[in-house]
Structure 1
Amino acid sequence: MSTENALLTILVEKINNDTLVLPTLPEVAVKVREAADNPEVNLMDMGDVIAHDPALSARMIKVANSAFLGRAVKVSTLNQAVTRIGLRQIKNIATAMAMEQLFVSKNKVVKEYLSKSWQKTVDVASSAITLLSLHLKDNKHSSLNIDTITLASLVYNIGILPILTEAERHQEVFANPQFLAQAIQKLGGRIGGHIMRAWDFTDEFVEVAELWANPEYKPENSCYVDFIRMAAISEGLLNVADKEKSLQAYVNKGVLSDVSVLESDEYSELLNDVKSMFA
């Protein structure tokens, strides 16, 4: 049996036996989510929780000052940043900004692969957030929101992490990028769903991680999967036979106003603003 087939067999067995080691949510994200779910918590309390992680604190200030939030007056402290973002949004925004902590490895080869994977994730996330922002301008009563898509689009491909962890024990598979891509395509969604459930995330996050790349899954109503798929198609990370035709389907569904939006100055400018949050 080839190394590649052996790895696939191991992964499938571990999934079926529920013995695959799943990544744990960053500790600061756990604490932020617990605090956000406490009805007694206030903005100052939330600031204290985030302050325990200097990297996340700096990231939240950057988000609060981003052009995407459209504020001319800059904030300089974490408490000001938390106040600007707001308690309702802070749970998902802070969790999203902590996700990068998972894409690390001491192994040089794996580290490089994870770094590239994270950058691709950020590209898709930036596009998805931009597309939803444009959609909400014309659909103000939509139940979809920016803080949820921000987190959903940063965990949509989270299933790759256990695959890479397992592959780290079989170094030669990294010499075959095509195999790794096939393994992720076959098992990434299934594993991603397991991770979202293990983290006690809501069904909308399970749906994204588990089904975003499944061509058989065609939700009737507008949902976060739509925007992540459009972004992945736009960024060339979801292979489709006809890009224009695939995007036109979202125009027909009423999710996208026109395929040409992706070539517009408005889209490009907003996309750059969103990307500045992750820089």
Structure 2
Amino acid sequence: MKRQTNELPDHLHDRYELVYIHQGKGVFFIDNAWYEKKQGDLFIIPGNTIHHSLPHNEDPIVSSALYFAPTLLAMDPIDDSYRSLLCFDLARQKGIYRIELTEPLRVVAETALEQIHTELKEHRLGYHEAVKLLSCQLLLQINRHVQSVRRREDPLEPGVGPLWMRQVLRDIDEHPEHENSLARLADKANVSAPHFSRVFRQLTTMNLTQYVNAKRIIRAKELLIRTDQKITDIAEQCGYETVTHFHRVFKALTGVTPHKYRQNQSRI
């Protein structure tokens, strides 16, 4: 059994993820917002996005999750009008990770996920290629649906999380490098430190230090991939006073050193 205290490294990964809800109720904490989960919902989660499931004790969730490396499906398009990962790009840009599927699309998703499961289970000739093709077909239908809707929904759904907590998470998102101490944030939220700590862990399944470190490492990953800055400079930009501390936290959350991570991504 995986304990919540051990979930963070597994939920701060480079893999992309589709989560389809077959039945049950619960809450999904993704990035900095809470989403009510219900039958027929599809969650689109790009890599390096903090996410935790908060189940409903009386009506537990039954779901299917599809994980994959983005390079598996990020093929060069024939033209510039389509990319398989379009829905993930839009989810990250807009900060909206939940789609309520129409009934026809629910049938498509359930059928595709069942076929993928069968291929992975039976290991027949060409099953890797079959899984790839099925995934691309599913993403094509999702992308068409997302493009047809093109409407903004408020990801901070009513009744999930107090307003002061939402503002705290937005502040940390914008400036994870700042000195985000429990005392300072609790004072800013106008609540006591014990109450802040209790509600924060209840709603995110993490303590404040874990959350801030996760957001800092997400930013560090982006800088390591997209720039040629020195690791010492990246450590400072992400709020770490010493490169030793940065190395320790980075390896704890990713399993590799910042230098090794940059090397691996360069090869990809």
TM-score by length of 1: 0.28
TM-score by length of 2: 0.29
More strand by share: 2
Q: Which has the higher contact order (CA 8 A, sep 6+)?
A: 1
